[in-house]
Amino acid sequence: MSGSFDSGSLTHHLLFGADYEEFELDRYQTRYRPPAVTPGATLATLNAVNIFAPVYGFLATPHDVVFNDTEEQTAYGIYLTDQIDVTDQWKFRLGGRYDWFKQSIADELVVLQPPEQDVTKFSPQAGIIYQPTDTLTFYVAYAKGFRPNSGFDIQRNPFEPEESESYEVGMKWASLDEKLRGTIAVYTMEKTNVITADPVNSGYSVAVGEAKSKGVEVELSGDLPGQFRVQASYAYTDAESGTSVLDPDFRKVVAEGDPLINIPEHNANVLLFKDFDVGGRQLTFGAGVQYVSERLGETGTDFFLPSYTLAKLLASYEVIDNLTIHGEVTNLTDEEYYPASYSSLWIAAGAPLQFQVRAIYDF
């Protein structure tokens, strides 16, 4: 719910909301790990595959059951913000969010069950807005955040919720005719209780990690001459580990200040649209380019995934009233790229050239 009212010379813009969420996760995981490679070992004893002449179908019996549990979460939240117009140029925003989170886990592998978790948290936020002209706005914002973590550690204790603290300074601009709009923001954020690998017990996690990020985000959108429209964005992100931890799965140390995995420093998108009038109805063609810089591909190493650039085409046409046909071709040049990885030997391949057609009917 939102609304406004005056209090003397001040104008208040209130926003109030509430949400409710239920989450249930059934997890069953087994594991098999082959013996160490020794002289004379065969493919059969190692349960291995010759990648040059693979023979499939020989599945080993798992050694043990790692997880067999059911987790249930219930969360409520309420929030309230008040933007106070002190003058036409100066505005202040105060608010906060109150969360209540309950978590229970039924573990089939142990007799003594993990304890239930019942957490409440208030997260404040505040901001200052200065609008010297009708087309230019400056702002400063501060906020704390709260997000529940799923799962438990090797002692079957539920993870503490993740918490964050952020600062942001930005500027918003709009042309006099409001056909073009742009924003630029500089931010810094710290997170605590981030899930990270247990340095002692392989395959388990602990909520002791810290992550830091800072960066710049720029956006531009609006109408251009000749019935062109543009949407452009750029983000610079410097994300790093805030603590030094050992990853037992790879026997690598993730030192404080190391970059976080799979997060590019540079990410840019440009979409350009052209509108046509065909038979009294709108036909739109669009073209776009996305650039993603290299990303760390494995923790504790210097293995990086290469940068990539993807192109796409879009089109839409209003066939009849309320019915619009959309078409899209992604990865137009069929580039081979890798959006993410877990390690240098576990890499996700990007989708090849694809096309999609869909119809949207409004009623």
> What are 75-108's pLDDT values in tens digits?
999 999 999 999 999 999 999 999 999 999 998 9
CATH number of 131's domain:
2.40.170.20
Ranges 203-217, 290-304, 316-330, 331-345: which has the least confidence: 203-217
CA distance 238 to 315: 35
What confidence tens digit (pLDDT) does each residue in 23-56 have? 999 999 888 877 788 888 887 777 788 889 888 7
Question: Which H or E element spans position 45?
Answer: helix 43-46
Residues 197 and 225 in one domain: yes
pLDDT score for 340: 94
pLDDT score for 214: 96
> Which residue among 263, 297, 319 closes a domain?
263
Residues 339 and 276 in one domain: yes
Residues 244 and 305 in one domain: no
**Structural domain tally of the chain?**
2
pLDDT score for 282: 86
pLDDT score for 286: 96
- Torsion-angle region of 66 (φ positive above 0: left; ψ -120 to 50: alpha; else: beta): alpha
Q: How confident is the model at residue 194 (pLDDT cuts 50, 70, 90)?
A: confident
Residues 156 and 62 in one domain: yes
Q: What is the DSSP letter of 293?
A: -
Residues 279 and 189 in one domain: no
pLDDT average, residue stretch 109-128: 91
Residues 206 and 279 in one domain: no
Which residues make Cβ contacts (< 8 Å) with residue 41, sequence separation at least 6?
Answer: 35
- Torsion-angle region of 287 (φ positive above 0: left; ψ -120 to 50: alpha; else: beta): beta
CA distance 318 to 314: 14
Residue pair 228/273 in contact by the 8 Å Cβ criterion? yes
> Which residue among 263, 282, 309 closes a domain?
263
What are 85's two structure tokens?
């117009």
Residues 127 and 60 in one domain: yes
Amino acid symbol at 84: I
Residues 294 and 169 in one domain: no
Residues 301 and 178 in one domain: no
pLDDT score for 10: 94
Residue-range definition of the domain harbouring residue 182:
2-263
Q: What radius of gyration do the chain's Cα atoms show?
A: 26
Q: What angle do CA 144, 295, 246 make, to 5 degrees?
A: 70
**DSSP β-bridge partners for residue 303:** none
Residues 259 and 270 in one domain: no
pLDDT score for 202: 72
CA distance 222 to 182: 9
> Which residue among 263, 298, 313 closes a domain?
263
Residues 250 and 302 in one domain: no
Residues 244 and 283 in one domain: no
Ranges 46-50, 337-341, 344-348: which has the least confidence: 46-50
Task: Show the 3-state SS of 189-202.
Answer: EEEEEEEEECCCCC
What are 97's two structure tokens?
């969010």
Find the length of the chain.
Answer: 363
CA distance 195 to 152: 10
